[in-house]
Homo-oligomer: A and B are copies of this chain.
Amino acid sequence: MAATETPRLVAERARAATVQVAAAETSTKNAVLGRMAALLLDHCDELVAANRKDREAAKAHGTTGALLERLVFDRDKVLSCVKSLGLIAGLPDPVGGISQVQRTLNGLMAGRMRVPLGVILMVYEARPHVTVNGGAFAMKSGNAIILRGGSEARECNGLLGRLWSEALANEGLPKDAVQVVSFGHDAVGELLRLDDLIDLVIPRGGKGLIRAVTKQSSIPVIKHFSGVCHVYVGEQADTQKALDIVLDSKLLMPAVCNAAETVLVDASMRHWLPQLVAALGNNGVEVRGGPVVCEDVPGTRPATEEDWGTEYLDLIYSVKVVDGLDAAIEHMSKYGSGHTDVIVTENYSQAQRFLRRVDSAVVLVNASTMFCDGATLGMGAEIGISTDKLHARGPMGLQELTSYKHVIWGEGQVMGDTNAWKKAEGTGRT
């Protein structure tokens, strides 16, 4: 990146690139993805070396734990990126499809055509694979993207940015369609106010990052806040299903946002508490219980008020007995984050009420929270999970990076009375 680079210049170049990338054929976009995959393989050793440099510098700066772990971009990560590129290339192109076509009263044909949003800005921490996936999602959906990864990943991201340029140029698309920048905080703040050039901001990272981006941005932001997810074991629950779902929703990937944090047990299922707590203990899950749980299962660590709103991202479950469906929903709306919530029940009416009334991005009956997932929901893959309600909710796939325009085919229709106009007078015609 040149020393004279400014946020506005970067955004202007992205905006200019939108015309070509929006009009690009599916085959061209897929060719870019294929080329990028080949380049990743060709440059695998360099990428791994650049990442090692990044990690050493990060360690020298005192970075440890999860952040350092998310920074890892080894051969396996490169191969997983290559696989993702293939997967995204294989997804249907969301651009140009027309839906909801209807014949209007006036005899017009009117429908909605999917179009790219324009310029997307992603601000994220560590995770160099986002530099590959974010670029690929934007490309395939016909958008230009500005990728601003964390300074911890500067070397590796810089190299990935050069590979994107090469992949794009190779297929005749403007290299500014995918730009990787390493701007500092002030320059990022400036980017976030370029609402004349950038259409959407997607922050990915911790709450601090998301709050800072949302606060500074004058561009619409799609946020992904915490996932305090619940499994409600309701009336007439099948205990075998309940146990499978409670365990799967935690054990499979405890650190992801759609891992469950709280089990709400209906009062009618109170007899099942000892079995639940024992099974959790046997699988290494710490239990923090409400008063009834502590009473029925002596030795259980009592949950504090804070526990109910905590996203543990760890092998810990808070467990509470609630008095019926309404109490369960009240608990979720008070402490939850509207992310992913499950009911386990064999009672038809309870299942229907839960689906209708719970105000979360993903609501499930008798299935694990792990199914809050782009692949399961038919998107093939996901670029993030929105906890917002506007534009996109829950897992976001290619379609969620598009907008639409109304297209109308007419045959000369007008709304007013053509006889009222003096059309030909004085024109030589009569």
A residues sitting closer than 8 Å to B (CB atoms) are 22-23, 96, 100, 102, 104-106, 108, 110, 113, 115, 117-118, 199-200, 214-215, 218, 220, 238, 240-241, 243-245, 247-249, 251-252, 274-275, 278-279, 281-283, 351, 355-357, 359-368, 370-372, 376-378, 388-391, 393-395, 403-416, 418, 421-429
Contacts and interface: CB of A to CB of B under 8 A. Distances in A.
Contacts of A117: 389-390
A366 B283 contact: no
Contacts of A200: 390
From A351, A376, A426, residue with most partner B Cβ within 10 Å: A376
A351 B408 CA distance: 11
Contacts of A248: 414-416, 418
A416 B370 contact: yes
B366 A110 contact: no
A406 B377 contact: yes
Contacts of A404: 393
Given A22-B359, A108-B371, A393-B405, 16 more contacts: A100-B378, A104-B371, A199-B389, A220-B388, A241-B412, A244-B423, A274-B427, A279-B423, A279-B425, A282-B426, A359-B405, A363-B406, A364-B409, A370-B416, A371-B415, A394-B405
A118 B226 CA distance: 20
* SS of A interface (majority): mixed
Going nearest first, the 9 A-B pairs with the smallest beta carbon separation are: A367-B410, A248-B414, A241-B412, A389-B403, A370-B415, A282-B422, A366-B410, A391-B391, A252-B416
A378 to B, nearest CB: 5
A227 to B, nearest CB: 14
A104 B278 CA distance: 33
A106 to B, nearest CB: 7
Contacts of A278: 425-427
Contacts of A423: 243-244, 247, 279, 282
Contact of A427 (B215, B275, B395): B275
A360 B405 contact: yes
Contact of A279 (B279, B365, B366, B422): B422
Contacts of A393: 403-406
A14 to B, nearest CB: 15
Contacts of A425: 278-279, 282
